[in-house]
A and B are shown apart, each in its own frame.
Chain A
């Protein structure tokens, strides 16, 4: 049994993992996570719809979290991990954990796709999962 870290943040379906965002139909702007309003001051109608965001992107920048964050971030067998800022296109850049790539092999511009990462698993086998980005092996590096 997998429990997401937050409801409404991402969806797991036949197509894989996708982030749930908001699109303003009036000015064609994407937001993540879902937003109650369009922040574009020049947009007048601000008609919003829930959308599943692109599940592939390129790494804009990253860091490695070298010390343990506060307890609100729960992770079994904690060790340093990478955080990326991923360009999903359409002007949207999303932060998330980077997975399945050695910390010294991360490169700005690398192709990434969305995945799930298990953060904790309890004695009943119930796990808490978050979204993460992993190398997109179907695509060569930029």
Chain B
């Protein structure tokens, strides 16, 4: 029998480019805010789970949690460092959840902090320059950038459902409008369909303003058992469901960095994420209709149209109508990324999924100043990472 788990505190450093602040400093700042938000102090933290990055910190081995405790609180607690690329934050959450649900710990912190390199993400050292490495082949054989993968999906959607360029642009417009009220977001100027369509074409049909850039940022959460839920005096937020998953054989999604797909009928597109979402919903005993807010990885405008359909919120192809009729706005039927999403934050890879759950926590408490979803009771996150990693968390008040 597992024990109930609650979100006690959330904290995040604003997203942006922070050349004068180390990844470790961003991490420490976010953790300090989360601990303070929970009404706790370091000696009460019984474990730390960090998303491992390959870009900076972690002593070169992804030991980001160890680095933090050695910097601010050497107190013998278990430090767990988890990989999962852009989904690492969700895997860290799942790990911390399990540590509490099992009864082993009462208070565990979750951390994701990242400073992204400039330009293209370099291949990791030690990669093979031959056909065994897709990330080699996709460059040397065809120069396929990440946006090219997403653009291929977007063009197929245009073919299948008649999605227009203006509708894709509208998704970016919505994200910027939401971000305008969020002090943590990097890009907070509202934009227009004309401005989005006038931005440089990157990979047809996706323009620069329809693709998330990379950013620096850090986010942290404090999870705890029943006995800690009233400590901060804030509105309690409960973990209703959480799950991680990997991809299914036959998934038709264009998975970075592979150069082919072996497709089988009846296998979900982006199955690593849809499987995680289905598991989280099953655990919560909920269906899509129970969700008020979806915080999802919008690497591009296409994702905002396709993902809610894949999760079963509505029929395939209906996303365009939902978006264009305000149903995905703050105050609409399903508020999608009231935070402003990746398009307004830029992706700080390993921190992103932790930030999603911070956002849900603030929304459910009614603390999302400037971008609050009215009467939000249940929120869901969904994220995708390299290696066909998917994760989803459902919180409720």
Query: Could you tell me which A residues sit within 8 Å of B by CB distance?
Result: 5-9, 29-34, 36, 39-41, 60-70, 72-75, 81, 83, 85, 91-97, 108, 130-131
Interface hits, B130-165 → A, CB 8 Å: 130-132, 136-145, 147-148, 151-156, 159
Does residue B376 face the partner (Cβ distance < 8 Å to A)? no
- Please measure, in the bound complex, the distance between the C-alpha atom of A14 and the C-alpha atom of B308, giving whole angstroms: 49
B152 touching A33, Cβ below 8 Å: no
**10 CB < 8 A contacts A-B:** A33-B131, A62-B155, A65-B144, A70-B119, A83-B143, A83-B144, A91-B263, A93-B261, A95-B254, A108-B155
Closest to A130 in B: B141
Question: Given the complex, which residues of B lie within 8 Å of A7, measured CB to CB?
Answer: 130-131
Question: Given the complex, which residues of A lie within 8 Å of B259, measured CB to CB?
Answer: 32-33, 94-96
Closest to A39 in B: B249
A67 touching B260, Cβ below 8 Å: no
Residue from the list B142, B204, B252, B263 in contact with A96, Cβ < 8 A:
B142
Does residue B213 face the partner (Cβ distance < 8 Å to A)? no
A63 touching B130, Cβ below 8 Å: no
Residue from the list A66, A69, A73 in contact with B204, Cβ < 8 A:
A66
A61 touching B155, Cβ below 8 Å: yes
Question: Given the complex, which residues of A lie within 8 Å of B138, measured CB to CB?
Answer: 95
- Please measure, in the bound complex, the distance between the C-alpha atom of A65 and the C-alpha atom of B145, giving whole angstroms: 8
Q: How many residues in B have their beta carbons less than 8 Å from beta carbons of A?
A: 42
Residue from the list A67, A85, A94 in contact with B202, Cβ < 8 A:
A67
Question: Given the complex, which residues of A lie within 8 Å of B130, measured CB to CB?
Answer: 6-8
B260 touching A93, Cβ below 8 Å: yes
Question: Given the complex, which residues of A lie within 8 Å of B249, measured CB to CB?
Answer: 39-41
Q: A61-B153, A67-B202, A108-B159 are in contact. Are A32 and B260 (CB under 8 A)?
A: yes
- Please measure, in the bound complex, the distance between the C-alpha atom of A83 and the C-alpha atom of B151, giving whole angstroms: 10
B120 touching A70, Cβ below 8 Å: yes
- Please measure, in the bound complex, the distance between the C-alpha atom of A4 and the C-alpha atom of B380, giving whole angstroms: 47
Residue from the list B142, B201, B262 in contact with A31, Cβ < 8 A:
B262
Residue from the list B120, B131, B148 in contact with A63, Cβ < 8 A:
B148
Question: Given the complex, which residues of B lie within 8 Å of A36, measured CB to CB?
Answer: 132
Closest to B261 in A: A93
- Please measure, in the bound complex, the distance between the C-alpha atom of A73 and the C-alpha atom of B123, giving whole angstroms: 13
Q: A63-B204, A94-B259 are in contact. List 9 more A-B contacts (CB 8 A).
A: A5-B140, A6-B140, A34-B131, A40-B250, A60-B156, A61-B159, A69-B144, A91-B264, A97-B142
- Please measure, in the bound complex, the distance between the C-alpha atom of A32 and the C-alpha atom of B200, giving whole angstroms: 33
Does residue B203 face the partner (Cβ distance < 8 Å to A)? yes
Q: A65-B145, A66-B202 are in contact. Are A108 and B263 (CB under 8 A)?
A: no
B260 touching A95, Cβ below 8 Å: yes
How would residues 315 to 330 of chain B score, 1 for a CB under 8 Å from any chain A CB and 0 otherwise? 0000000000000000
Closest CB in chain B relative to A66 CB, distance in Å: 5
Question: Given the complex, which residues of A lie within 8 Å of B204, measured CB to CB?
Answer: 63-64, 66
B201 touching A66, Cβ below 8 Å: yes
Closest to A93 in B: B261
- Please measure, in the bound complex, the distance between the C-alpha atom of A2 and the C-alpha atom of B147, giving whole angstroms: 30
Closest CB in chain A relative to B151 CB, distance in Å: 4
Question: Given the complex, which residues of B lie within 8 Å of A93, measured CB to CB?
Answer: 252, 260-261, 263
B144 touching A95, Cβ below 8 Å: yes
Question: Given the complex, which residues of A lie within 8 Å of B143, measured CB to CB?
Answer: 65, 68-69, 73, 75, 81, 83
Interface hits, B191-213 → A, CB 8 Å: 200-206
- Please measure, in the bound complex, the distance between the C-alpha atom of A81 and the C-alpha atom of B141, giving whole angstroms: 13
A9 touching B137, Cβ below 8 Å: yes
- Please measure, in the bound complex, the distance between the C-alpha atom of A70 and the C-alpha atom of B132, giving whole angstroms: 20
Question: Given the complex, which residues of B lie within 8 Å of A83, measured CB to CB?
Answer: 142-144, 148, 152
- Please measure, in the bound complex, the distance between the C-alpha atom of A76 and the C-alpha atom of B116, giving whole angstroms: 30
Question: Given the complex, which residues of B lie within 8 Å of A8, measured CB to CB?
Answer: 130-131
- Please measure, in the bound complex, the distance between the C-alpha atom of A87 and the C-alpha atom of B203, giving whole angstroms: 20
Q: A70-B120, A108-B159 are in contact. Are A131 and B131 (CB under 8 A)?
A: no
Q: A41-B249, A70-B120 are in contact. Are A131 and B263 (CB under 8 A)?
A: no
Closest to A107 in B: B159
Question: Given the complex, which residues of A lie within 8 Å of B206, measured CB to CB?
Answer: 63
Closest to A73 in B: B143
Interface hits, B33-68 → A, CB 8 Å: none
- Please measure, in the bound complex, the distance between the C-alpha atom of A41 and the C-alpha atom of B137, giving whole angstroms: 25
A92 touching B263, Cβ below 8 Å: yes
Closest to B263 in A: A91
- Please measure, in the bound complex, the distance between the C-alpha atom of A94 and the C-alpha atom of B137, giving whole angstroms: 12
Closest to A61 in B: B156
B262 touching A63, Cβ below 8 Å: no
Q: A63-B203, A93-B260, A93-B263 are in contact. Are A130 and B140 (CB under 8 A)?
A: yes
A6 touching B139, Cβ below 8 Å: no
Top 7 A-B residue pairs of the complex, sorted by shortest distance between their CB atoms: A73-B143, A63-B151, A69-B143, A61-B156, A72-B139, A64-B204, A32-B260
Closest to A40 in B: B249
